[in-house]
A = this chain, B = another copy of it.
Amino acid sequence: MTTRVTCCQIPLRIGDTTGNQITATAAIEAAATDGAQIVVLPELASSGYVFADRAELESLAETRDGPAITAWANLAEAFDLTIVAGFPEAAGGKVYNSAAVVDRSGLRGVYRKAHLWDTENNVFDRADDLPLLIDTAHGRIGVMICYDVEFPEWVRAVALAGADLLCAPVNWPLLPRPDGERPTEQVRALAGAGMNRMPLAVCDRAGVERGQDWVGGSVITDANGYPMAIAEYCTPGSITADVDLAQSRIKRFNDNNDVHGDRRTDLYRRTALLD
């Protein structure tokens, strides 16, 4: 049995929450029509990313009962979807880079990004959340955001906690890379999936914003970390794959090896890993 997963690599416009919601709704409706069961949107899908300052971010931040989550929850109910999407979260004077999980029953949970990228450190508050885990009809969904995925400790932790699919809203800035190479962020995501036998759905974005272009590196993998669907770089568009999430339960991959059982935690404790 497989689960149809779609990543909507939509263009976003900074500050245009109404326009971004219209774009997201169209992409989600198209995914639903195509049979999607789990839909992932980018990081900060409601607001865009390149904030001029904290004041602009605050003006775009929403609470958990705000319009973005409400709209996503309505779509989730209408089409029986599980939706994972990023938004700037206002909470008691703080603003977090967050991602919500909604399904037909409404809001299931929110994750606040633990590893902040570059100038996010100047505008967002840093959170102390562990990776989010939500049990759904399709399996256990793990959630983290963008730069989080580049910390193998974080990916390992969510896999050890039993995630059957890691959903990661991202905004991967376009950085130089050698011709013919996949962006390193994507390589790291593929490695994390394979090293944990945990399928992964990364949803990136498109649309130049205040001079910043984006990789457009959305990818959905199988449990071996090989891409099942991969987006065209720097281009809006959805990708879809039918993923066998039950594969994530099989950490053993030959008679003698198990991606988690083979860890030498006895030795890791003698290293500086947690110092």
Q: Which residue numbers of A lie inside 8 Å of B, CB to CB? A: 114-122, 128-130, 147, 150-154, 156-157, 160-161, 177-178, 181, 184, 187-188, 190-192, 194-195, 224-227, 254-257, 262-275
Contact = CB atoms under 8 A, between A and B. Distances in A.
The quantity of this chain's copies bound in the complex is 2
Contact of A184 (B156, B194, B254, B266): B194
B195 A256 contact: no
B274 A268 contact: yes
B226 A270 contact: no
Contact of A227 (B181, B188, B254, B265): B181
Contacts of A195: 150-152, 188
A157 B157 CA distance: 17
Nearest to A259: B150
A114 B268 CA distance: 11
Contacts of A116: 256
4 interchain residue pairs of minimum CB distance: A152-B152, A191-B191, A157-B271, A160-B272
A151 B264 CA distance: 9
Most central of A116, A161, A270, A273 by chain B CB within 10 Å:
A273
A172 to B, nearest CB: 13
Contacts of A130: 267, 270-271
A269 B274 contact: yes
A184 B221 CA distance: 12
A271 B114 CA distance: 13
A254 B117 CA distance: 9
Nearest to A269: B274
Contact of A272 (B128, B161, B224): B161
